[in-house]
Amino acid sequence: MKIIQSFWTGNQNDFTNTHGWCNYKYNWISWILSSHQLVTFHDEVELYTDAFGYEILINKLQLPYTKVHVVLDELNHFHKDLWAVAKIKTFQLQTEPFLHVDGDVFVWESLTEKFKNSNLVVQNLEVTSTYYPEKWGLIRPKLVYVPDTLKNFKCTTTDLVTNMGIIGGNNLDFFTDYTQKSLEFVEKNRPAWSKIKDYNFNVFFEQIIFYRLAKQKNEEISFMFEDTPNSGGYKGFADFGNVPQKKYLHLLGGYKQEIINCIQMEIYTMRYYPESYSRLMSMINENTSIATDVDFLTSEKVSELISDFEKELKTNDFSTSDFLIKRDLYNEGSQNRFRDCVERKEPFKLVMIPSFEVKTEMKNNQPFFHILIKERNEESRRYNLDQIDRVMIQELSKPVEYNEFILKIKTYLSPSDSNEESLNTLLTLINNRLVNYLTLRITSIYQL
């Protein structure tokens, strides 16, 4: 069973196309990370793309696919918003068992080992919730053709559909039937393309048809996850702070628009795939008016920068040279290091990093506090402070050993709240805040 990915530009040869991300650079970073992680855990990883995709992903970024098929330009007569057509066409081209992995999916384990004997495979089932019925209500009246699979489809808020972050299996006969029906659904509704372009027709000819056809044929489906969330309920699927213990991330939907998720993805990619990341930064410098602050990085240079920052942490004396790059590289994985130290009761110090400013503004004669966090190649980000944050940041103003910090925070409890239950609740709250500060990169840790 081989791993495949597909990338189609929709005949939009624009390097700065966001493809659903909050910034175009994160689209390319996603492809860097996704491909490298797949190649790390699988022998065969093939890309199906068009000429522009080949130019960027292969010629320029030099991503490590074992084989590349430049075949998707033949889809350029489709409307650019029908992005799932490229996936369906790629499925149709397969002649051996496969797993297709989206470019916003990242793995830390072998998928083929898990599903090598599976009939059909998808990421999970999800409940349609309100999104699908709302979109179907807009799309259905404009369609000129509806396949038999959807003739009686009403689309309620309690229907089931497959999430296809990954999809594949051994049943190629099913995929022959499925892809034929899916592409026919799209082609026969050509007169409606311009009328439904903003309603996300993709989820219906890709996901809905797949699930309903599989149920109709009584096909066995294996799932990456047995949970069945609603269409907006994918909590933890962007949690870079828990990898590699967490083996699978999928920055689907709104996760692409949350800058903290994108920054974490960028930092992980810069830390572990610095050469590919540097190639992208060079392309951005060459092709846009946006200058980046990254010289060509290597694994050796990354290790050197991390080592330098650890020394600066221990002296609490930070150099301005490459400060933000060093901060980001050092703090990658710090959430896990924090949890491990707490669990094992190993001593460590907390150090507040000088990469933010505290700001105050008045509203209705009341002061409100926030911080502005400096970011590399991005505007400073705002983080609002509540009273607990303000106390914690005050107590972290000087480097402090973790246990001493916890003891100090406990003194803020009133005597009536000093029972064991309240203390445990406080400890959980404080630890969660500290993990958040590590994610924000306003705090770092080092072991004693």
Residues 158 and 240 occupy one common structural domain: yes
Residues 233 and 322 occupy one common structural domain: no
Q: Which residues contact 30 (CB under 8 A, 6 or more apart)?
A: 21, 103, 104, 251, 265
Residues 161 and 251 occupy one common structural domain: yes
Residue that terminates a domain, selected from 235, 269, 303: 269
> Minimal CA–CA distance to 378: which of 266, 274, 277, 299?
266
Mode of pairing for the β-strands spanning 366-375 and 378-385: antiparallel
Helix (H, G, I), strand (E, B) or coil at 295: coil
When divided into structural domains, the chain yields a total of 2
Q: Which residues contact 402 (CB under 8 A, 6 or more apart)?
A: 341, 342, 347, 348, 349, 350, 445
CA distance 91 to 209: 14
- Give me Rg for the CA atoms of the chain: 25
In a domain, 382, yes or no: yes
Helix H or strand E encompassing 110: none
Residue that terminates a domain, selected from 241, 269, 297: 269
Mode of pairing for the β-strands spanning 160-169 and 98-101: antiparallel
Residues 12 and 149 occupy one common structural domain: yes
Residues 159 and 259 occupy one common structural domain: yes
CA distance 119 to 207: 17
Residues 259 and 144 occupy one common structural domain: yes
Residues 371 and 428 occupy one common structural domain: yes
Residues 55 and 199 occupy one common structural domain: yes
Residues 258 and 114 occupy one common structural domain: yes
Residue that terminates a domain, selected from 203, 236, 269: 269
In a domain, 305, yes or no: no
User: For residue 97, is the peptide bond before it cis, meaning its omega torsion is within 30 degrees of 0?
Assistant: no
Residues 234 and 324 occupy one common structural domain: no
**Tokens linked to 228:** 């069945």
Residues 60 and 145 occupy one common structural domain: yes
pLDDT in tens, the chain (448 residues): 999 999 999 988 999 999 999 999 999 999 999 999 999 999 999 999 999 999 999 999 999 999 999 999 999 999 999 999 999 999 999 999 999 999 999 999 999 999 999 999 999 999 988 999 999 999 999 999 999 999 888 889 889 999 999 999 999 999 999 999 999 999 999 999 999 988 899 999 999 999 999 999 999 999 999 988 776 678 899 999 999 999 999 999 899 999 999 999 999 999 999 999 999 999 998 876 666 666 789 999 999 999 999 999 999 999 999 999 999 999 999 999 999 999 999 999 999 999 999 999 988 888 999 999 999 888 899 999 999 999 999 999 999 999 999 999 999 887 777 788 888 899 999 999 999 999 999 999 999 9
Is residue 212 within 8 A of residue 160, CB to CB? The reply is: no
Residues 92 and 151 occupy one common structural domain: yes
In a domain, 294, yes or no: no
Is residue 277 within 8 A of residue 268, CB to CB? The reply is: no
Evaluate if pTM is beyond 0.75.
yes
Q: Determine the structural domain holding residue 116 and report its residue range.
A: 2-269
Strands of the sheet containing 348-352, edge to edge, are 400-401, 348-352, 443-447
